[in-house]
Amino acid sequence: MRLKVDLLPKSSYPDVVIVVDVLRATTTAPILLGVTDQLFVTPSLRSARAYAQEHGLLLAGEREGMPPEGFNYGASPAALRTLKLDRDVVLTTENGPRALEQVEGAKSVLLGSFYNARAVLEEAARRATEEIALVCAGQNGNETLEDTVCAGFLARRLEKMLPEVELRDSARLAMALLRAFPDPQEALVQSTAGKLLARLDLHEDLAVSSLISQTEVVPVLKDTLGGEGGKIYRFERA
């Protein structure tokens, strides 16, 4: 069994992928799926609005950290984890959904973060036969501190779960960076995305996003649907 970390998404994954977008898509997604049956994820505002209107769904998401016009909710995990919802949700953010465009061909696509760390690793280990790839979403095509540190954290945990796993150098690189940030929240605070959230006075999102193994919910990709402005990815609980 191989374990690798991609600091940015690539285009070919044969087995199990865990997409990591800590701030905030893959932290928010398991929170939403904890109170809904399905979660629809898209990079496109147009697709999100059209699909939600057609199917009577709620809209959650962000652009530059803030809820787009007309949305029911933002993408704040701190705010969303207190909600009780009566409808499924369409989620759109800027980076995590775009990573799905690169990894959708994998055998299994899971969404992972600090928040569901134990559960997502157990699910990945159960599904994988040859490789687990931790794929960082990045930000606008650039590597990010918070995703890389989280991938290193997950890689270290997985190495302990599966002592026989073959670590690729990319996994060792992420694990080495993790040693510089023994407190995950510090990596989030120092990251570019973290500084944006701090300027928007969303400090609680940084705290919630650094919490470890708070839920057993693992979003798993079930279907890819066509949308007016871009693909829509349907997730259910594993």
* Predicted confidence (pLDDT) per residue in 3-35, tens digit: 999 999 998 999 999 999 999 999 999 999 999
Strand order in the sheet with 89-92: 58-61, 89-92, 39-41, 232-237, 219-225, 108-112, 16-20, 131-136, 2-6, 166-167
Q: What is the pLDDT of residue 226?
A: 86
Sign of the Cα torsion 162, 18, 139, 58 reads negative
What the block records as the tokens of 215 is: 């839920």
Q: What pLDDT does residue 60 have?
A: 98
Residues of the chain with pLDDT under 70: none
- The reported pTM is 0.97
The residues pairing with 162 across neighbouring beta strands, listed in sequence order, are none
**Dist. CA 58–CA 15, nearest whole Å:** 32
Question: Across-strand partners of 18?
Answer: 110, 134
Q: How far is CA 45 from CA 2, 98, 219, in A?
A: 36, 12, 21
pLDDT of residue 104: 94
How much is the pLDDT for 44? 96
pLDDT of residue 185: 95
- Domains located in the chain, CATH noted: 2-237 (3.90.1560.10)
Q: Provide the pLDDT for residue 6.
A: 99
* Residue 109, helix vs strand vs coil: strand
| pLDDT confidence of residue 142 | 97
Please give the DSSP secondary-structure letter assigned to residue 39: E
